[in-house]
Amino acid sequence: LLSFISNQISSDDAWKEGKTLPYSALCDVFSAIEAISSRLEIQEKLTELFRLVLLRDGGGANEDALKNKNRDKNDKAVRKDDRQSDLYSLIYLASNSVAPSYECVELGVGDSILIKAIGEASGTAPNIIKKKYDAEGDLGTVAQTSKGKQKTLVGFGRMSGPKRLEANEVLTVFRQIATTSGSQSQKWKVDKIKGLLVRARGSEPKYIIRGLQGKLRIGLAQSTVLASLAHAVVLTKPKDVVQLTDEQLKEIKDTEDGDRGAYPDFARKLCDKNLPLDIKLDAAVAIIKKAYSEVPSYDSLLDAVLCVPLQELHKACNLTPGIPVAPMLAKPTKSVVDVLKRLNGLRFTCEYKYDGERAQVHMTPDGKTKVFSRSLLNTSEKFPEVPLYVREACKDAPVTSFVLDTEVVAFNRETNQFVPFQVLSTRKRTEESAESAKVQVIVQAFDLMYLNGKSLLDCPLAKRRALLRENFVPIDGKFQFATSLDHTENGDTTVIEEFLEQAVKGQCEGLMVKTLDVSAAYKPSLRSLNWLKLKKDYLEGLGDSVDLVPLGAYFGKGKRTGVYGAYLLACYDEDSEEFQSVCKIGTGFSEEDLKELAASLNSYIIPEKSSQYVVSDALECDVWFDAVQVWEVKAADLSKSSTHRGAIGKTGESGRGIGLRFPRFERVRPDKKPEEATTSDQILDMYYAQDSIVGGVDGGADDD
């Protein structure tokens, strides 16, 4: 594939003469990816394209271009900026995004605008485009076939045809469209899209339209994009990666933060020539993913990748106030005994597990504050009082910058009590102020990841917590530290059990149990044993509820005519990046739920089951949806199943997966993305943690 694309690109004069990556090169890779399902093969294809871009500048496809004596030196040389801009375009277009998620700039142009643009670009009436769309279910394909018809029209009188599209032009237009709103902008958007379509060739119209819809549908997840970039960097060794001087490095990195000892050893050895390639590749992926979990911005990541060797990436790309860090996550446990067994003699603390919404509060050195959700979305407008409360809490301390991890909980100041999560979820997306908001909140702070110019991620929790308590003070009804109980190992479970009772009586969900000294760093995005959750509700069941993705639905009958009677839910497999069915669900819904869910999912119906869905034929749905929502579900237990596909291939029994028995709908989780649903590995862990399995009796848990 590399040589194919490389030949194709190097025969393209524009690329040869030092212009930027043709959009067609990206679309060729998209087409190749769409046709395969193996994640490794998909990764290889994308890696090749990254390599091609990294190889520019004096190497690979452009050697001839650089030697071309006739070119204008100032204008046509392959500039470093071009390579950088190619990399940006490639990574954003492949991820179908235009900006980091925390900037909340979403693509997702309405079908009516797209239909109009396709119609105008191909000289076809919009109603005909609409009919084809209804019949085929994919507006991208409709754009491609309509475009085929238009070839002669555009070529007429212009033998060479329109100028070919470059990847960065497409990204620029996508960005302009995503950031422009208002009724006046509709015609402008149609013109912009038409401008792209008129110049598009081959499969380009298909991916332009799908990209603008916000659903590329080629099964390319973010972790594959990051892994491909990592592999490309190791395999390519770009010839002239810009090396920063020590002074420049000092400027961009957190120089005071010398305590990065926790960085994995294998990563530091990345350059060791004697290391086998697969270890180098694994190390590179770990480094890139770690950097991205601290700074989830492709811009920052690529800047760093082009500036420093991979093993030094953490110096150039690390936690920065103002940019959200992927939150640390917890593993479920089923009992206090289970907790003690897992922590195996380590000192730990138990904190109340508040039932609210996670809020990461940032203050940058210029005094600006921002609030981010669990999914890294900016929720500053939803909680305008949160920065005020937090700053009030640190007003006497010499604090210049910070990143705090907190839970924002609905709170009744008159009774001095927490209010259930359901009430908090009625808060509007934008609230004027604390006074005008119907629901009052309190900030329960439980971690400090950054303070006064210094990252604390590698410090143990005991130190982070001490700094939190030294630099902030509690304020009644506004800001409190998580109530906690430190535990000294003596095998006595009653103290913890009583503390759990107390937490539940105080309207909390249970406890969070965290290591204090050893294995107690803050690990962004990781679900490690350093944080355990212990929820009262689930002690006798699975240990936790699960968060699943609706893939499809079955038409309702009788009382449920007109809405869906049941849905098919799936967990997420991180290795294959697929959604694996784990249950059919028809219980726990109110009539209102059924109406609302059907209405919201109906705009995401797809013509057929996605290649990312692993579902047996016996469960064929009446309609299939794009994976867009996450639902919290409780179940009686987990069982091996011949119909469901949870953790398939990992259960030790060929062809059998894990399914949920007696699932019940709890609520929609708008704060989670489908890729943040419960993973197949978690399902497997929960399956094996069940008493019936631990006790060696696997028999009761079989849904066949």
Residues that bind ligand ATP in the complex, under the rule CB under 6 A: 329-330, 351, 353-354, 358, 374, 407, 446, 482, 512, 533, 547
Tokens of 589: 């819904």
Give the whole-angstrom CA distance, residue 509 versus residue 632: 15
In 265-417, alpha helices (H): 265-268, 277-294, 298-307, 313-316, 336-343, 385-393
Q: Between residues 27 and 546, which has the closer beta carbon with respect to ligand ATP?
A: 546
CB of 417 vs ligand ATP, minimal distance in Å: 16
Among residues 173 and 482, whose Cβ is nearest to ligand ATP? 482
Which DSSP string do the residues of 198-234 spell out, in sequence order? HH--TTHHHHHHHHHHT---S---HHHHHHHHHHHHH
Contact 310, 282 (CB under 8 A): no
CA atoms within 13 A on the CB side of 101: 19
Smallest gap from residue 506 Cβ to ligand ATP (A) = 12
CB of 245 to ligand ATP, least distance (A): 41
Q: Quick one: how many helices (H) and strands (E) in the chain?
A: 27, 22
Q: Which of 353, 370, 634, 672 is catalytic?
A: 353
For ligand ATP, give the closer residue by CB, 331 or 478.
Answer: 331
Round to whole Å and give the CA distance between 677 and 669.
10
- What's the rounded Cα separation, in Å, for the pair 634 and 664? 5
Q: Which is nearer to ligand ATP, 547 or 577 (CB)?
A: 547
Question: Minimum CB separation from ligand ATP for residue 439, in Å?
Answer: 17
| 124 token code pair | 């076809």
**Residue whose tokens read 């059919």:** 584
Q: For residues 404 and 606, which CB has a smaller minimum distance to ligand ATP in the complex?
A: 404
Determine the Cα–Cα distance for residues 666 and 334; give it in Å rounded to an integer: 20
**3-state secondary structure (DSSP) of residue 602:** helix
Provide the β-strand partners of residue 681.
none
Longest dimension (CA), the chain: 88
Residue 514 or 640 having the CB closest to ligand ATP: 514
Instruction: Please calculate the CA angle 699-332-320 and round it to the nearest 5 degrees.
Output: 150
**Least distance in Å: CB of 349 to ligand ATP?**
9
CB of 491 to ligand ATP, least distance (A): 24
Residue number, 193 or 419, with CB nearest to ligand ATP? 419
Q: How far apart are the C-alpha atoms of 45 and 33, rounded to whole Å?
A: 7
Identify which of 627, 607, 702 has the alpha carbon closest to the alpha carbon of residue 672: 627
Q: How far is the CB of 507 from ligand ATP (least distance, A)?
A: 12
CA distance to 63, 269, 316, 318, 675, per residue, from 288 (Å): 29, 15, 12, 11, 19
Q: Is 368 a catalytic residue?
A: no
Name the residue number minimizing CB distance to ligand ATP: 358
Please identify every residue annotated as catalytic: 353
